[in-house]
Structure 1
Amino acid sequence: MSRSRILALMQSQFIEMRRDFGAMFLTFLFPLFFVVILTGSALVRSNPTFDFGFVDQTKSAEAQQFADALASQNIAIKTYSDEATLRSALTRRDVTAAVILPEGWTPTATGPRVRVVADTTTAGLAETVVNAARAKIKLGQGETADAIPFEMTTVEGSNAEFNFIYPGMLALALVQMGLFMTATPILKARERGTLRYILLTPTTTRELVVSQVLFRVLIASVQLTLLLAAGAFIITLSPSAWLATFGISILGTIMLVSIGYALAGIARSTESGMALIMIANFAMLFGGNVFWNPEGSAVLTAVARIMPVSYLADAYRQIISGAQGLWPIWQDIAMMLGFTLLALLIANRTFTFDMRSRDVQAQRA
């Protein structure tokens, strides 16, 4: 294989991609738009009121006074019966922070301290609110706020909706790339005779296929970097998680590119190919564990099992969100490899580089 010819083919694909606004929109702008909206909705509140969970283990008038001092125009106090329930609410982000007054607490420098627990992204806000409450009580008595000591603990919270949809959006981006930037350009190039003319040059079939796959892996890497950067305001990934995400993405890209080739091979014409692409796109979007969690529904779970993108989205959720997946991650990888092999077998049996050769084969049959 010639590296120069492969690079030249990749350059020609890039030029063709720039001319195809529809493919650019569906591959880059469409997923990025949804991720930005999703991230923004998780960060921005339409109602600037923050809920602080409060547990009073003292049942004293001083504790009620402290709760009243915490409350303000933008701070609402939600009382919980015990600390475990409050911590669960904090993990689910039902509350912004947790304030616990332990048994035996008094608003003095001695004795148990006020315990404040907050998510890593809201710890600064929680500290500001507690300091304001301390000052409100003690400064009115001629003392300093330090007379009510407290200890701050930060925890990793989770946004269940974001943690589910965000990895699904990454899978969606690769689906759009595999279908609209693989199958669609191949159908158009085959109809125009571009592929036939390329093969009349010294370029080999292997070089053409390698350039197609490498170009799409490069596009997937750019996609993933943009989408992960947009989601970094909510989810922070470790270096190992970044590497694992890129590794799964390469496997997912190869799987979806193979499916794109298989669809282009099955199609008898450009029109029928576009219909197959649209059907596959909607089937994987709405049945492929991208937007809806199939857990709890036997029908949705059965549908998700036969959708290749389900396993990609499930692997993303386990790596990025740390959530428990529908299947073990080794099973996700095994199923993606299986779908890749199946798609390659179908493409090998059905794909032709010239639509006219397909017509000749059909007439002979």
Structure 2
Amino acid sequence: MKAFLSMVGANLKMQVRNRTALFWLLAFPALFILLFGFLFGRSSDFTVTVGVVNGNSTPIAAQMTKAMQKSSFFKVQRSGDRKAELQKLEQGDVDAVLVFPPHASPGQPLHVTSYVDRSRLSTAQAVSAAIQQIADRFNRGVNRGPELVSVSTRGVQGHHLSSIDYLVPGFVAMSIMQNGVIGLAAAFVALRERGVLRRIRVTPFPLMSFIGARIVSNLLVVLFQVAILLGMARALFDLRVGGDIAQVAVGVGVFSVLGALAFLAIGFFVAGVSRKVESANTLGNLITFPMLFLAGIFFPITQAPEWLQTVARILPLYYLADGLRRAMVYGTSLAHLWTDAAALLATALMGLVLAVRFFRWEPGAG
């Protein structure tokens, strides 16, 4: 154990002394947070997404839903479950919920209920006005007859994401990915090129202990890194933290570790198939760079086309950012984040299998 702890300490010293790696691990994501924080502050300009319940229950409901779908102001998500849609509204996944009755009463107007997030006053007012405007079109067309549609609005206390609330967890996830893939792969290939792995192979110190020490040191760096970035965002831009602080800390810590393990596994795989440090950096960037723009780091993937949303949901960075965001901003318990956790564990296991398959002691030719 003493030798293992000494190796962990040695790895930490190597990472601290690598100024280039420190820049990419801390300064680079910190610059992103500062840039976007000062640009957007706590502003919020996301597309208005409305969950529609019973949208085809009556002819008028179908026509109103169709009118909303044609409007550039709305993005309609159909559902038959009122409870599920209201939960989405509370969690910030939709901006409003429109509930049509399951059937129409003869001679009576169609009573429609609009649920809005009262913590977002400007958006709630805009959504309510737009829905009422659509209802008024139907009522104006009856020429002094009884109104066809009656809209009532109810407020729900939601947990709305500001721009900085959305972006910071994504930047933290990005830094964890960079640490695991770019940082580890290049460093490990450099050790192999210098013959360090060859020398360790002939010493009594097991290689798996050496790799384990590297993983532990990386995990410690990741936790320190996350604490620094979140502390900075909280102090400078009032990053919102939802729920109990202890629960949030546990959730963020668990997903930081899971994300680090997933991307460290990918980093070991990249190190295994790369012969030179340059090729490790190139392959690492080929893997990580597309994720930055496809995994919902800079914008919600619900604003993207359907095919792009499907692509995003196969990327491990999406699940890391989503898990961190929900645990941090919404205070969601780990029991409700099992999908994100399972995806990261699956990535870690798959990366480990590939890393073992392609592991090499000696530097390759070329």
Using structure 1 for the length normalisation, give the TM-score.
Answer: 0.63
CA distance in 2, matches of 1:28, 1:308: 21
Alpha-carbon distance change, 44 to 352 in structure 1, aligned in 2, over 3 angstroms: same
The 5-angstrom pairing of residues 183-332 of structure 1 reads 183-232=185-234, 233-237=238-242, 238-295=245-302, 296-322=304-330, 329-332=337-340
- Shift in Å at residue 239 of structure 1? 1.5
- Shift in Å at residue 191 of structure 1? 1.0
- Cα deviation 1:235-285 (Å, max 9, x = unaligned): 135211111110111111111111100111122433322210111121221
Partner of 2:346: 338
- Cα deviation 1:310-347 (Å, max 9, x = unaligned): 110111121122299xxx72211111111111100000
Q: How many residues align?
A: 257
CA distance in 1, matches of 2:284, 2:357: 19
User: Does the aligned pair in 2 maintain the 1:6–1:207 contact within 8 Å?
Assistant: yes
Q: SS of 2:241's equivalent?
A: coil
CA distance in 2, matches of 1:36, 1:172: 15
Partner of 2:118: 87
CA distance in 1, matches of 2:324, 2:184: 22
The 5-angstrom pairing of residues 141-152 of structure 1 reads none
Partner of 1:18: 16
User: Does the aligned pair in 1 maintain the 2:192–2:363 contact within 8 Å?
Assistant: yes
CA distance in 2, matches of 1:182, 1:94: 49
Alpha-carbon distance change, 236 to 334 in structure 1, aligned in 2, over 3 angstroms: closer
Partner of 2:179: 177
Alpha-carbon distance change, 176 to 353 in structure 1, aligned in 2, over 3 angstroms: same
User: Does the aligned pair in 1 maintain the 2:165–2:239 contact within 8 Å?
Assistant: no
Alpha-carbon distance change, 89 to 6 in structure 1, aligned in 2, over 3 angstroms: same
Partner of 2:27: 29
- Cα deviation 1:170-197 (Å, max 9, x = unaligned): 1011011112221110011111111211
Contiguous gaps of at least 5 residues in structure 1:
46-83, 96-154
Q: SS of 2:301's equivalent?
A: coil
CA distance in 1, matches of 2:229, 2:240: 12
Aligned-partner residue type, residue 16 of structure 1: M
Contiguous gaps of at least 5 residues in structure 2:
44-114, 127-156
Identity across the alignment (%): 25
Alpha-carbon distance change, 190 to 86 in structure 1, aligned in 2, over 3 angstroms: closer
- Cα deviation 1:91-111 (Å, max 9, x = unaligned): 86999xxxxxxxxxxxxxxxx
Aligned-partner residue type, residue 239 of structure 2: I
- Shift in Å at residue 43 of structure 1? 5.1
Q: RMSD of the TM alignment (CA)?
A: 2.9
- Shift in Å at residue 218 of structure 1? 0.2
Partner of 1:166: 168
Q: SS of 1:355's equivalent?
A: coil
* CA radius of gyration, larger in: 1
Larger CA deviation: 165-174 vs 328-337: 328-337
CA distance in 2, matches of 1:342, 1:19: 31
User: Does the aligned pair in 1 maintain the 2:272–2:355 contact within 8 Å?
Assistant: yes
User: Does the aligned pair in 2 maintain the 1:92–1:160 contact within 8 Å?
Assistant: no
Partner of 2:105: none
